[in-house]
Amino acid sequence: MSWQTNLPLIAILRGITPAEAEAHVGALIEAGFDAIEIPLNSPDWATSIAAMVKTFGDQALVGAGTVLTPEQVDQLAELNSKLVVTPNTDPAVIRQAVSHGMTVAAGCATASEAFTALQAGAQALKIFPSSAFGPGYIKALKAVLPPDIPVFAVGGVTPENLQEFLAAGCVGAGLGSDLYRAGQPLSRTIEKAQAFVTAYKDAVR
């Protein structure tokens, strides 16, 4: 399975609560997002993910981030989560997610970690923290990776610097606190989502 979304921007909704999730996810989808990640260190994440899969699962790739154990993967499979994003390179977690038919974006920083993730079956790589490494590092890493593997920049990506990471060879980015911070008003999410979508479209024209 390859990466299958129309807009290669992953919305990372760290800290979102079940009560807030539907409004914010709905606004993101309306703005054009079709990959939604709710990290497992968010309050009552299982309730949020289950509800978002049920409500928006036919419109977006909905799933979890900060997935650390095979047991969490099994729990996500029961919720019909389709996306697993990891902060690290754990072959057992990746293999378990792939066995459930999930799309996996595995967190990595080095060539060794990247190839370990690919050998375990990850369909995409997440370079984290991208802002600390910079676009030049990612460009160098991309030179040794299979050209058909989607690479996402995650960590410190803003509407202003998104173009630099795309130019370095990233297919897209995972967007955390520059898109969503826990407790922010819906209007802020809408404003940020539109800024990122515009920045992406401008960069790939």
Which of 20, 82, 126, 164 is labelled catalytic?
Answer: 126
**What is the rounded distance in angstroms from the CA atom of residue 171 to the CA atom of residue 92?**
26
Buried/exposed 106-130: b ≥16 CB within 10 Å, e otherwise? bbbbeeebbbbbbebbbbbbbbbeb
Q: Has 201 been annotated as catalytic?
A: no
Q: What angle do CA 125, 27, 161 make, to 5 degrees?
A: 45
Asked about 37 being catalytic, the answer comes back as yes
State how far Cα 2 lies from the chain centre.
14
**Residue tagged active-site, from 37, 82, 142, 192:** 37
Which two structure tokens, joined as six digits, stand for 194?
């539109």
Question: What are the residue numbers of the active site?
Answer: 37, 126
